[in-house]
Amino acid sequence: MAGSVENVYSRALLEIAAEDGSMKELDRELNALSEIFSANPELTDVLCAPTVTDEEKLSLIKSVFEGRVSATAFNFLCVLAEKNRCRYLRGIAQEFRNGYYEAAGIAEVTVTTVSPIKEDARERLVAKLEKKYGKTVILREKTDPSILGGMIVTCGGSMMDGSVKTRLENMHKQIKDMISV
């Protein structure tokens, strides 16, 4: 949704980071903060509690984060707390990453294989994917023995399924369709 809280805040942060050249650093910080808040849900609860004053919220943020994150990330946390929006931090961080990757020409690609990819094969795969997508590729690897062989490549909303399991399922369906005719 174009007007969602996550999109509104992430777009504002992207503009700020684009102006001062801090997109990569802010992306790293937002994701670290998101992990901290996810691991400590009581922090979100306190910062969103209507019974806690803005001064108390800002004091807590200052004691925990000041000097440990950039001024932009610190000020952003203060705004989220004042607006009772801390529970949206994970989504904001994800939307920020999407915008950062788009602006930086980065594609996050997930490859699922039966076993870990060997280093030389990984390098060749990354080179092919960078050529295909025309972007710098960040490769995320998953293993899933149930695919039997081959690989499944996912990037954004697209998926290329070259797994043995899917090929066998497709052949089974074709044979079943031929028999039922």
The model's pLDDT over 156-171, given as tens digits with 9 standing for 90+, comes to 889 999 999 999 999 9
Note the pLDDT tens digit of each residue in 20-68.
999 999 999 999 999 999 999 999 999 988 899 999 999 999 999 999 9
| Whether pTM exceeds 0.75 | yes
Q: Which fold has domain 105-179?
A: Glutaredoxin (3.40.30)
Res 41: pLDDT:
94
Residue with tokens 């020409």: 105
109-147 confidence digits (pLDDT tens): 999 999 999 999 999 999 999 999 999 999 999 999 999
Position 1 scores a pLDDT of 45
State mean pLDDT over 82-94: 94
Rounded to an integer, what is the distance from CA 135 to the centroid of its chain?
Answer: 17
Q: Which residue has the tokens 């998926």?
A: 159
HSE, side-chain direction, 13 A CA sphere, residue 41? 0
Which helix (H) or strand (E) element contains residue 159?
A: strand 158-161
**Contacts of 116 by beta carbon, 8 Å cutoff, 6+ apart:** 141, 143
The domain segmentation of the chain, as residue ranges, is 5-102, 105-179
- Please compute the mean of the pLDDT values over residues 80-104 and round it to a whole number: 95
CATH architecture of 5-102: Orthogonal Bundle (1.10)
